[in-house]
Amino acid sequence: MAAPITVHDSRGEHQLDGVPQRAVVLNWDLVEQVLELGVTPIAAPNIEGYNTWVVQPSVPKGVEDIGTRAEPNLEKIAELKPDVIITAVTQKDLLPQLERIAPVLYYQNFEQSDQQAEEAIKQFKQLAQVFDKEEVAKKKLDNMTQRFAQMHQQLVDAFGQPLPKVLPLRFANETSAFLFTENSTTMYAMSQLGLESPLPLPAAKWGISQQRITELQNIKDGYVMYILPFAQEKKLNSSILWKAMPFVRNGHVNAMSAVWSYGGAMSILYNGEAITQSLLEMKADK
């Protein structure tokens, strides 16, 4: 028989009968965390959307899709007979119903009060304990530290010191964008690269602040990069307002490969890699 284990989540300490073998994971950041540990859940929400927006690591074939994050299919979850259900704030109101199916672990993040990257790292370690993957987590986190040091040096070699101001963003539409606040995963990745934003913003829920594109007009020497996918990219690039921006005229704007801004620990690294790649592409074009 499996030995009972003691684990921790945002609500405190819990006892499980053993290391879970059949995990249902109900939020994208937690799906990412579990997959990065080398654990394949039996079910996850909106897998097509996950593979479009979160991208890496991709969800393996065979994982059951159990509906949306906000309204997962409880009947289907029960039929799958999980030995643990892993949840986040989006499912908080469902906890009593989910706890009638299987033991539930709850991991909260992305509130205004959260240092979101640090919380993601903490939860990565907590989930590693749940699945007996502490060594995997340590190696991945150590590798992330090393990669950030390497990427910082790449940027210094390309741009010299001081490094330029950089603004990563995610477009909401042609006229507004989500800018990242000081407590966001994206700004944590920026800090690990030794980069600063030309438009620093105070902490906010989800680590974002929606701003009109006209707010970007004072970025003269900085670099701007926008995260893909963005369906209106061609339309934006033909906009007179956009083409008049100083950073656009200077050729200091570029797309970033698709990365998730509200992800787990390894999303910090993927954001850092996307920022570095986009900056180096712009430098190479000069």
Residues 6+ apart with CB under 8 A from 108: 10, 88, 89, 92, 114
Average pLDDT estimate for 165-180: 95
Instruction: Quickly tell me which residue has 């210094």 as its tokens.
Output: 156
Relative orientation angle of helices 134-159 and 116-130, to the nearest 10 degrees: 150
Report d(CA 219, CA 4) in Å as an integer.
56
Mean pLDDT of the chain: 96
- Report residue 174's pLDDT band, with 50, 70 and 90 as the boundaries: confident
Q: What is the pLDDT of residue 286?
A: 66
Report d(CA 45, CA 74) in Å as an integer.
12
Report d(CA 144, CA 272) in Å as an integer.
10
- In order of start, what are the domains of the chain with their CATH numbers? 5-108 (3.40.50.1980), 137-284 (3.40.50.1980)
Q: What is the pLDDT of residue 50?
A: 96
Instruction: Quickly tell me which residue has 């950030």 as its tokens.
Output: 148
Report d(CA 92, CA 238) in Å as an integer.
43
Looking at the predicted structure, is the pLDDT value of residue 220 above 90? Answer: no
Q: What is the pLDDT of residue 24?
A: 98
Instruction: Quickly tell me which residue has 């570095």 as its tokens.
Output: 276
Q: What is the rounded radius of gyration, in angstroms, for the C-alpha atoms of the chain?
A: 20
Q: Which two tokens stand for residue 54?
A: 């979160």
Average pLDDT estimate for 148-168: 97
Q: Model pTM greater than 0.85?
A: yes
Q: Which two tokens stand for residue 235?
A: 């339309």
pLDDT digits (tens, 9 = 90+) for 83-135: 999 999 999 999 999 999 999 999 999 999 999 999 999 999 999 999 999 99
Neighbours of 190 (CB within 10 A): 21
Looking at the predicted structure, is the pLDDT value of residue 1 above 60? Answer: no
Strand (E) positions, 94-161? Answer: 104-106
According to DSSP, the residues that pair with 64 across neighbouring strands are: 43
Residues 6+ apart with CB under 8 A from 146: none
